[in-house]
Amino acid sequence: MAIDAGVGARHDAPSSAGAPGTSGYSPSEMMAVVAARELRDGEIVFVGIGLPNLACNLARATHAPGLVLIYESGAVGAVPERLPVSIGDPSLVTGSLMVCGMADVFQYLLQNGCIEVGFLGAAQVDRWANLNTTVVGDYDHPTVRLPGSGGAAEIATHARRTIVVAKLNRRAFPEAVDFVTSPGHSYHGTPRRALGLPGAGPVKVITDRGVLEPDSSGELVLTALYPGVAPADVARDVGWPLRSRDPLTTLDPPTTTELVLLRERLDPDKLFLKG
């Protein structure tokens, strides 16, 4: 299948839109577009760096000009005029509505319940949408040490809903993560609501081939596919018997407008749109 052609390879997806210039796009571009379409105009979003940041700024440039971007570094209502390489880029401050200290960000904005959407990436996502960004392997003797929580644990706790972006592969989607950094829908058999977590947790996991969502028990199931992708293409890289929702939808590919914005304005150097 074309999407498996390799990192960085553009491929020709069957174009349902048929618009010129949209027939070739990368998995990362599709992820950013799908993530952007999840955001509604006027929503208050806690933005992470990388693809989430691209998705938010794409949404702001298209259907959601009134999106309020909040970064954990303290910028509220940010309007970055360049692609922020880091979450503390000065472009997040200049022209924003407010800059506050991080104690205010976590207590008065996040814990207070102001944040409608939280955006997270993860090195591992498991069957119950628990997220790992801490270690691969044993905590005390890790095979790979990852950066850790940052604000992720509290974002997945408090944001009214959380959207996760992660590329599929078998190591990234195990039955159970090596370390639960950010809470999903079930922790060692205890359901999320019994844990007293204020937010709904991860409501969508946007991958490079389709979208997973929790069913009523909190287990991630396949709910949408990208053009040209079959359910088996997703299931083979997921570490649990992946069920599909019926009916399964196929999402529209990126439009020309979305691709032009991503390639020419938002990430011209392909800093976050690799592959």
Partner 1 sequence: MSMRDAIGAFVHDGDTLVIEGFTHLICFAAGHEIIRQGRRELVLCRLTPDLIYDQMIAAGCARKLVFSWAGNPGAGSLHAFRRAIEGPAGDGGRRLEIEEYSHFGMVARLAAGAARLPFWPLRDYAGTDLPAANPRISTVTCPYTGERLATVPALNPDVTIIHAQRADAQGNTQIWGLLGVQKEAAFASRHVIVVVEEVVDERVIRADPNRTLVPGIIVDAVVHEPWGAHPSYAHGYYDRDNDFYVSWEAISRDPARLGQYLDRFVLGVPDRSAYLALLPDLRTRLRVSDRICAGVNYGY
Q: Does 100 bind partner 1 (CB under 8 A)?
A: yes
Question: Measured from the CB of residue 126, what is the shortest distance to partner 1 in angstroms?
Answer: 12
Active site residue 213: no
Element (DSSP H or E) covering residue 60: helix 51-61
Q: Please identify, using beta-carbon distances, which residue of 201 and 228 lies nearer to partner 1.
A: 201
Residue 250 · residue 224 · CB < 8 Å = yes
From candidates 85, 114, 221, 235, binder to partner 1 by CB under 8 A: 85
* Rounded CA separation 45/39 (Å): 8
Binding mask 190-219 for partner 1 (x = CB under 8 A): x-x--xxxx---------------------
Q: Does 94 bind partner 1 (CB under 8 A)?
A: yes
Q: Does 5 bind partner 1 (CB under 8 A)?
A: no
Strand bridging mode 190-191 / 202-206 = unpaired
User: Residue 221: CB partners within 8 Å, gap ≥ 6?
Assistant: 212, 213, 214, 215, 242, 243, 244, 245
From candidates 29, 89, 258, 267, binder to partner 1 by CB under 8 A: 89
Binding mask 130-149 for partner 1 (x = CB under 8 A): x---x----x-xxxxxxxxx
CA 57 vs CA 78, 81, 114, 125: distances in Å: 10, 10, 20, 25
What SS3 state is found at 102?
A: helix
Q: What angle do CA 161, 163, 166 make, to 5 degrees?
A: 160
DSSP 175-189: SS-SS-SB--SEETT
Q: Does 106 bind partner 1 (CB under 8 A)?
A: yes
Q: Does 49 bind partner 1 (CB under 8 A)?
A: yes
The residues assigned a catalytic role are 72
Chain residues binding partner 1 by CB under 8 A are 49-50, 72-75, 84-90, 92-95, 99-103, 106-107, 110-111, 130, 134, 139, 141-154, 157-158, 179-184, 187, 190, 192, 195-198, 271
